Chains A and B, each alone.
Chain A
């Protein structure tokens, strides 16, 4: 004989487990199990999914402004199954919000809030608020640009609540500014306070639900059934369908998105709340200055009060109809607002561009973090701040593009209406760039000296008269000179070319002085007090570029002949680090991940 029944008897005498199980599983369902009863079970299920995945995430997450993004990055990219875990947690949260609305709709339409179930309805409403708060607090935890800027708006809105708003904001944010304590507090709310409260309310919600029984939809089509196994079978199918939908989204998007790390000095125009808060976001646009409190606090507050009072309003037939109408008006209104918000964002080029550039930066920081140097203790943000590929274009656009261009644009890809008034610096240092400069048909074009004061200078005259008249032999020598001067730059992109043409470069160095005649104005690995043009020793090397950006009026460069270029270091326009970033970017000196090399 199996010892199991004996053991269960023993346990039952001490715990009453038999009657507990019976109570839990054999609840009567009048009219039999039905698909329409699955919402409560699916919500309980998704909540359990969130607890399980949340605890696993918790075990790898580190809330501080130097480690939050970094630990999430590590979960996403280095831990086995990390992206899957984040993805499930992220998309299940979204599923919960949809299920909540469906559950609420059903409760109201079926009149399941009516006496004696009012208190249970209020438990449910509190749970809805808790789940929304969980969504809001969870959005900040990865500490990426999107979460950072979107949540800032949410906490600022909390601050306009009359009387105690600013105090509430300070307590949630952990001071006046976003920082370590914002994360520790949001995390305590997200992983402790809110789920703890939710568990207590769910226990109460289910206990009250069992006390009053299910609000069965009449007419009954089938004989009564029990929760186990009839309804639970249907519930399980529904839960599986939800997990299936979540998994599709997770796999399609390779888990949850992780934007570039938060940066308080870098704007992010595409900062938006999660899609299920977009209607509130859009709503705020319609309240002119000073009436924000209406749109952000008062009207949503009144709506919540009306929904809370629905069990009392719904006592009469008319009241019940009002509740249903109110609910549908709310859902339609929220849907329209959501659609408006999305449509406007799609229409505005700056928002689309910001979202696109955030994706690129996120991709870039991923490469940098995976580079041999890895993420420093100062956080991933320093990787971006010291990355020529990220900062170069921005610095160029701000400080250089008022005169120069880069491949025709301002460095960031924006075509400017104004014509350039100095050379285009794309490929500066390369043979191609230099060949163009020495081409009589190009040197006086907008790409080179055409709009500078050098258009009437010695160099232009030299190219136009002498180079134009060069013999075949001289032209070959000129090509050698181009190779020699360009080799000074030691560009990464020309490494192979420079290496394979050592004899040509050597010939070019000799021709520089004699046959071609560059040495009449330029110094090149030798002192010449009479040289009037820039010293081409180390031309376009990092040192040379940093030097000319720092002070083009130095005798080493243009001296008195300098056109309009400011001395960026000497006039304290840029610090040494920024100048270095511009030089590195122009030279194509940045980290490239192995697979794209």
Chain B
């Protein structure tokens, strides 16, 4: 322990002016301690924050590339939706996976000419929407968001804020190509994830 008489602030606050240099020196000492302490920790903490926040720079790469999903023949034009996995190259941090399932879509042909594609992910909270055979509708098995076959909201009381996310479809030489994309859940607008 520092002896009483040698404590730097032993005369602090006596107001005589004589001890000001001590007070000033004490202030500088304190400021320097705090400043040097912060300086010492700034690089390690900065690096840690940089790595922790790195995902903010990541953008979804799957966006807007056309992917071949199925042949036109595998989706009968009876209006009944059929589920297909989306196979695409995927980079997961340090790994590259060639042609791996990255999600799924419902394809549907209401008539001979039209092909519709919906992302299977529920716009409410990201559940995987089921096709309900009995009621001929889409039903999310989590919070019961219900959608008509054209993807529109069937029951306005159900929790989804927007219709199922439709995706751009092209038919090329009898094959169905889809621009596969995921969207943010829980928003009224369709915002790419």
Residues of chain A having any CB pair with chain B under 8 Å: 65-66, 149, 152-153, 155-157, 159-160, 166-167, 170-171, 173-177, 179-181, 263-265, 267-271, 281, 284-285, 287-290, 292-293, 296, 348, 350-351, 354, 398-399, 402, 566, 571-574
- Residues B109-144 near A (CB distance < 8 A): 120, 124-130, 132, 141-144
Considering the chains assembled together, what is the distance between the CA atoms of A496 and B42 in angstroms?
75
- Which residue in chain B gives the minimum CB-CB distance to A290? B161
Residues of B within 8 A of A350 (CB): 130, 132, 141
Highest count of chain B CB atoms <10 Å: which of A155, A177, A293, A566: A177
Given A65-B92, A399-B74, A566-B73, A175 and B159 contact (CB-CB distance below 8 Å): no
Is A153 touching B142 in the complex (CB atoms < 8 A)? yes
Residues of B within 8 A of A264 (CB): 101-104
Please give the distance in Å from A31's CB to the nearest CB on chain B.
42
Residues of A within 8 A of B174 (CB): 571-572
Please give the distance in Å from B181's CB to the nearest CB on chain A.
11
- Which residue in chain B gives the minimum CB-CB distance to A381? B101
Q: What 1/0 mask marks residues of chain B from 56 to 90 whose CB sits below 8 Å from any chain A CB?
A: 10111010000000110110100000110110000
Is A176 touching B60 in the complex (CB atoms < 8 A)? yes
Is A180 touching B102 in the complex (CB atoms < 8 A)? no
Is B141 touching A156 in the complex (CB atoms < 8 A)? no
Residues of B within 8 A of A269 (CB): 128, 130, 141
Count of chain A to chain B residue pairs whose CB atoms are closer than 8 Å in the complex: 139
Query: Would you give 8 A-B contacts (Cβ < 8 Å), ordered by A?
Result: A173-B55, A177-B193, A264-B103, A285-B143, A287-B159, A289-B145, A348-B141, A350-B130
Given A166-B184, A176-B59, A566-B73, A292 and B120 contact (CB-CB distance below 8 Å): no
Q: Is B188 an interface residue (CB 8 A)?
A: yes
Is A265 touching B86 in the complex (CB atoms < 8 A)? yes
Is B55 touching A170 in the complex (CB atoms < 8 A)? yes
Residues of B within 8 A of A289 (CB): 124, 145, 153, 156, 158-162, 188
Considering the chains assembled together, what is the distance between the CA atoms of A354 and B127 in angstroms?
14
Q: Is B26 an interface residue (CB 8 A)?
A: no
Please give the distance in Å from B188's CB to the nearest CB on chain A.
6
- Which residue in chain A gives the minimum CB-CB distance to B74? A573
Is A292 touching B56 in the complex (CB atoms < 8 A)? no
Is A153 touching B70 in the complex (CB atoms < 8 A)? no
Residues of chain B having any CB pair with chain A under 8 Å: 52-53, 55-56, 58-60, 62, 70-71, 73-74, 76, 82-83, 85-86, 92-95, 101-104, 120, 124-130, 132, 141-145, 153, 156-162, 174-175, 182, 184-188, 193
Highest count of chain A CB atoms <10 Å: which of B102, B175, B185: B185
- Which residue in chain A gives the minimum CB-CB distance to B93? A180
Among A156, A167, A270, the residue within 8 A (CB) of B125 is A156
- Which residue in chain B gives the minimum CB-CB distance to A382? B100
Residues of B within 8 A of A153 (CB): 125-127, 142
Considering the chains assembled together, what is the distance between the CA atoms of A350 and B193 in angstroms?
30
Please give the distance in Å from B55's CB to the nearest CB on chain A.
5
Given A288-B159, A290-B161, A293-B186, A270 and B141 contact (CB-CB distance below 8 Å): yes
Please give the distance in Å from A173's CB to the nearest CB on chain B.
7
Is A292 touching B124 in the complex (CB atoms < 8 A)? yes
Given A153-B125, A156-B126, A263 and B101 contact (CB-CB distance below 8 Å): yes
Is A175 touching B55 in the complex (CB atoms < 8 A)? yes
Considering the chains assembled together, what is the distance between the CA atoms of A348 and B141 in angstroms?
10
Cβ-closest 8 pairs across A and B: A265-B101, A267-B128, A269-B141, A160-B186, A179-B92, A265-B85, A156-B126, A156-B185
Residues of A within 8 A of B127 (CB): 149, 152-153, 271
Residues of A within 8 A of B58 (CB): 170, 175-176
Considering the chains assembled together, what is the distance between the CA atoms of A149 and B141 in angstroms?
11
Is A284 touching B187 in the complex (CB atoms < 8 A)? no
Given A292-B124, A573-B71, A284 and B143 contact (CB-CB distance below 8 Å): yes
Among A180, A267, A290, A571, the residue within 8 A (CB) of B95 is A180
Among B56, B130, B188, B193, the residue within 8 A (CB) of A171 is B56
Is A171 touching B104 in the complex (CB atoms < 8 A)? no
- Which residue in chain B gives the minimum CB-CB distance to A181? B93
Considering the chains assembled together, what is the distance between the CA atoms of A175 and B93 in angstroms?
9
Is A292 touching B161 in the complex (CB atoms < 8 A)? yes
Is A159 touching B130 in the complex (CB atoms < 8 A)? no
Is A267 touching B125 in the complex (CB atoms < 8 A)? no
- Which residue in chain A gives the minimum CB-CB distance to B133? A414
